[in-house]
């Protein structure tokens, strides 16, 4: 890394095929306006004679797709590019690199490891083999494509981040074929660079002859020949056709052919302003720029639902997705749009807004650059902060962390001390749980303002039936979830970052009035489902109140009599309050013993969070809370023996009750009531005014409650991935059924075995 007083320099390596050229031309214009970075470009080129021979089809084998020709072509391209990249890196001065796509650096994993690298890709070898324009898949295509990951995987694993332009590509990257960590992969729409992002959409005269446009270098590969035939046979008398292609097509009335347009040519916008419909019947393109260019110019689009196209074109709203291998489906969609100028206008306007919201190339470039800056330890728009300058100022930076180093943990602790209302959002809980019990990948989402942490959501990610779902750390252990944020703006930035990352969220036990849920709904780009599933009793304790203000004198006398009777029989009844690490170490054996006895007495219903595999987590977590002054344990004793334990945590004026257990041999003592009475009696001395009894309406909890609130589960996904939500629901339903069945077997089989022995 060069000195902090210089602008970081990034190398952008481009495969330079098809629409990739258009993307890099847009990047050149965008980066030219940025003064905080320097960018160099390396574009791929055509191989020489030897390279062309090495990538040529093998007679005989090619017929059955057994000659690995597409892969050999990529290896030739990569060999040429590796040499150029190696020479440029050796010359020095490059801080980080962006590669578009992995197929241009096959065999170059070592080069990628030598400098922080971000990869953007619109496909994988396993997906792409079925869309080669000059080849027809055979029964050998799939099996032969298993070779591709051996070359792609090392490159992908060497990157610090991989952006995928579609959900299908994301799923392929995280599959068993490529095994890229889901925390390394993010969904990034490629975007378009157009004057119509800031200028009004062209106004089209509904009374003039309709003009259909096609954009594609070649007609046969991109479906242009099909369109030309349909136009000649069915539409020539009521629509014109404009072909933007490199092929030569004989002129005829109603047909305009433009052969001299190159990727990035500004004339495209004037051409699109003069036409009415884009028909793009290619079945091979994964994320074509032509579609976005047409939509931002206000054109409805007809296209084939492959790759990222279903995310670009909203079927029935911004155009039609049809099987472009079927002539009649393409023709039907064309007839509908040609005959209905009002529908064309409505779809065109909807498409324009869709692109403005999601596909601005400036936003795409900013995300990539911010990731490169983060990879080299710089902050977006302004470089590294000078020493001694506080980190409050500066632009925001979102990131999902698959590890938490000491610096981030300290920042997290500081943010929690200032803004947490729940122990579940503190690192003492989340990190203790994940390090001892966590499955999947850590995925702590953060927003930094300069070098100051201003928002955080403690998550982890797991794959269930091929869907990566992000959940709160330590979910399902009687906790209430929350995000940490300094203010509403910081929380909004967190939600924006999560949306851009394309994550699917399943957040359990969020209060109905959760600011996080509200931020997800207000964003506008999320599909959010909230289902209430639990009630949480609360004891409100205004200053000066006593147990008598909550329970009647008669009830409290009953509790006192129970203490006296047990005391006469077994020894005096007392209470122990544990707050410090030293007190916890002394009390831990008794606390663990009570939890074990309670579990043994009722194994079907009682989970022992102080043992049975949870002990190390709980002891470390409680110690951390004690060190922070938040631990509040009330122990119920008979003689010198603990018979009940109530573990709670104090955050400001709120106490959260997490775990209560007691020895059932002392049920007559009414231990749950006794410990709550003692806790309520302490509230003025310890400075809390609310006891949140958290999940569940147990009998003794309801007896003490003065109010309650409801919590539920939020399942949310970016609107483009909303179809994941019912899948997540169904997976949970099946998982719950299997878990209940396993529990039934686990508790019934030992009984049956014992019966057989008698």
Q: Is the model's pTM score more than 0.85? A: no
Q: 640 and 572 in contact (C-beta within 8 Å)?
A: no
Strand pairing partners for 651? 654
What is the pLDDT at residue 32? 87
What is the pLDDT at residue 393? 45
Spatial separation of the C-alpha atoms in residues 268 and 279, rounded to whole Å: 15
What is the pLDDT at residue 134? 66
What is the pLDDT at residue 743? 52
Among 98, 18, 14, residue whose Cα is nearest residue 289: 18
Strand pairing partners for 530? 714
Q: 269 and 193 in contact (C-beta within 8 Å)?
A: no
**430 token code pair:** 């989340």
What is the pLDDT at residue 17? 73
Strand pairing partners for 404? none
Residue ranges in the chain whose pLDDT is less than 70: 1-5, 18-19, 131, 133-134, 378-395, 464-466, 604-605, 735-758
Structure-token match 């065999």, residue found: 107
Residues in Cβ contact with 52 at an 8 Å cutoff, skipping those fewer than 6 apart: none
What is the pLDDT at residue 389? 31
Structure-token match 């803004």, residue found: 419
Residues in Cβ contact with 193 at an 8 Å cutoff, skipping those fewer than 6 apart: 26, 29, 30, 361, 362
What is the pLDDT at residue 384? 34
- 3-state SS, residue 260: coil
Among 582, 649, 198, 213, residue whose Cα is nearest residue 416: 649
Among 2, 9, 11, 19, residue whose Cα is nearest residue 108: 11
Among 260, 249, 253, residue whose Cα is nearest residue 209: 253
Under DSSP, the state recorded for 203 is P
Spatial separation of the C-alpha atoms in residues 268 and 258, rounded to whole Å: 10
Spatial separation of the C-alpha atoms in residues 693 and 672, rounded to whole Å: 12
The angle at the Cα of 73, spanning 72 to 79, to the nearest 5 degrees, equals: 85
The angle at the Cα of 39, spanning 36 to 40, to the nearest 5 degrees, equals: 160
**196 token code pair:** 């119509």
């Amino acid at each position: 890394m060069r000195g902090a007083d210089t602008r970081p320099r990034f190398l952008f390596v481009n495969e330079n095929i098809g629409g990739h050229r258009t993307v890099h031309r847009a990047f050149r214009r965008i980066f030219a306006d940025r003064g905080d970075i320097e960018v160099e470009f390396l574009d791929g080129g055509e191989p020489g004679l030897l390279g062309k021979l090495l990538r040529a089809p093998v007679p005989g084998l090619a017929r059955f797709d057994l000659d690995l020709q597409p892969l050999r072509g990529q290896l030739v391209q990569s060999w040429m590019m590796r040499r150029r990249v190696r020479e440029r890196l050796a010359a020095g001065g490059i801080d980080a690199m962006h590669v578009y796509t992995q197929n241009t650096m096959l065999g170059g994993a070592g080069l990628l490891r030598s400098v922080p690298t971000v990869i953007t890709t619109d496909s994988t070898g396993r997906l792409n083999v079925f869309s080669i324009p000059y080849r027809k898949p055979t029964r050998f295509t799939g099996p032969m494509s298993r070779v591709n990951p051996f070359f792609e995987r090392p490159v992908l694993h060497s990157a610090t981040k991989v952006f995928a332009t579609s959900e299908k590509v994301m799923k392929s990257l995280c599959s068993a074929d490529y095994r890229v960590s889901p925390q390394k992969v993010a969904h990034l729409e490629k975007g378009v660079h157009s004057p119509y992002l800031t200028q009004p959409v062209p106004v089209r005269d509904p009374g003039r002859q309709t003009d259909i446009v096609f954009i594609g270098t070649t007609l046969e590969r991109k479906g242009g020949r099909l369109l030309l035939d349909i136009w000649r046979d069915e539409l020539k008398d009521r629509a014109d056709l404009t072909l933007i292609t490199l092929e030569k097509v004989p002129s005829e009335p109603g047909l305009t052919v433009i052969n001299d347009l190159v990727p990035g040519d500004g004339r495209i916008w004037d051409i699109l302003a003069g036409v009415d419909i884009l028909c793009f019947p290619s079945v091979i393109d994964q994320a074509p720029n032509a579609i976005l260019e047409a939509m931002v110019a206000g054109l409805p689009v007809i296209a084939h639902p492959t790759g990222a196209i279903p995310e670009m074109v909203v079927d029935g709203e911004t155009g039609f997705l049809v099987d472009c291998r079927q002539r009649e489906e393409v023709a039907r969609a064309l007839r509908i749009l040609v005959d209905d100028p009002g529908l064309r206008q409505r779809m065109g306007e909807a498409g324009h807004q869709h692109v403005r919201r999601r596909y601005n190339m400036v936003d795409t470039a900013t995300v990539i650059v911010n990731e490169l800056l983060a990879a080299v330890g710089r902050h977006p728009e302004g470089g590294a902060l000078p020493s001694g300058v506080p980190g409050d100022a500066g632009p925001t930076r979102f990131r999902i962390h698959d590890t938490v180093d000491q610096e981030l943990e300290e920042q997290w602790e500081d943010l929690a001390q200032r803004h947490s209302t729940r122990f579940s959002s503190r690192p003492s809980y989340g990190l203790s749980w994940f390090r001892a019990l966590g499955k999947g990948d850590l995925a702590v989402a953060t927003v930094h303002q300069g070098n100051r942490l201003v928002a955080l959501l403690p998550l982890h990610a797991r794959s269930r039936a091929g869907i990566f779902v992000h959940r709160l750390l330590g979910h399902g252990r009687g906790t209430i979830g929350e995000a940490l944020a300094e203010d509403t703006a910081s929380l909004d930035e967190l939600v924006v970052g999560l949306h851009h990352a394309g994550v699917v969220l399943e957040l359990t036990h969020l209060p109905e009035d959760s600011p996080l849920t509200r931020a997800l709904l207000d964003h506008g780009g999320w599909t959010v489902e909230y289902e209430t599933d639990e009630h949480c009793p609360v004891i409100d304790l205004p200053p000066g109140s006593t147990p008598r203000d909550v329970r009647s004198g008669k009830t409290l006398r009953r509790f006192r009599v129970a203490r006296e009777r047990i005391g006469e029989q077994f020894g005096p009844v007392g209470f122990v309050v544990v707050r410090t690490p030293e007190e916890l170490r002394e009390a831990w054996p008794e606390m663990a013993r009570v939890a074990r006895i309670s579990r043994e007495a009722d194994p079907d219903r009682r989970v022992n969070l102080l043992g049975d595999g949870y002990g190390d987590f709980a002891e470390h977590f409680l110690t951390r809370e004690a060190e922070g002054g938040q631990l509040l344990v009330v122990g119920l004793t008979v003689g010198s023996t603990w018979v009940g334990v109530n573990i709670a945590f104090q955050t400001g004026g709120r106490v959260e009750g997490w775990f209560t257990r007691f020895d059932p041999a002392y049920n007559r003592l009414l231990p749950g009531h006794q410990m709550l009475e003692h806790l309520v009696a302490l509230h003025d001395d310890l400075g809390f005014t609310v006891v949140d009894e958290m999940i569940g309406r147990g009998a003794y909890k309801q007896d003490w409650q003065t109010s309650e609130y409801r919590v539920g589960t939020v399942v949310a996904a970016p609107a483009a991935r909303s179809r994941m939500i019912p899948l997540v629901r169904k997976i949970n339903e099946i998982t719950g059924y299997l878990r209940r069945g396993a529990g039934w077997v686990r508790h019934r089989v030992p009984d049956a075995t014992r019966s057989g022995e008698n």
